[in-house]
Copies of this chain bind each other. A is one copy, B any other.
Amino acid sequence: MPYAKISIESIAARAKVGKQTIYRWWPSKGAVIVDSFLALSEATTDPESAGSAITLPDTGDLEADLKLVLRATVAEFADRDFEQPIRALTTEIVNDPSLAALYREKLAHPVDEAKKTRLRSAQRAGQLAEDADLELVLEVLYAPLFQRWLYRSGPLTAQYADSLVEATLRAFRP
């Protein structure tokens, strides 16, 4: 269903509850969407590890590890099943500062922290500049992919993932 056609009414009908039940818990369609993503991300977190399940591979080779992760991210963005929900989430985030803050705190922040842990390990191993701004490193690595997907402005391929990793490592090598 195209996102503009989804409504609190259609969500309530699908859930077989009255729309007041939905409104009691969520102030808007966007809040429902963000909470769905949050529930999904918690469901995929390993319960054994008490909420700190997100880790990136660390084989000691930063370039190889980032290529693995970025190729998986590219594949996810190119997946048609992922397409509609993430566009719905993005639409809400673009237009609602409070949902953008909720998204950053609950969904983006824990993942970014896991990525930064991997980057700090690379700094200690002398594979990334000690004074690199890790926020900027993550933006240079991921934002081009996100923008290309959002504007549908170019192919999302493993080769593109590799090019992004290589450009990022050239920009922030010791």
Contact = CB atoms under 8 A, between A and B. Distances in A.
B95 A91 contact: yes
Contacts of A93: 150-151
Contacts of A108: 151, 153
Nearest to A163: B136
Interface residues of A, number: 38
B87 A136 contact: no
Nearest to A148: B139
A152 B133 CA distance: 18
Contacts of A163: 133, 136
Contact of A143 (B91, B135, B144, B171): B144
Contacts of A64: none
B151 A144 contact: no
Interface stretch (A32-40, A67-75, A99-107): A99-107
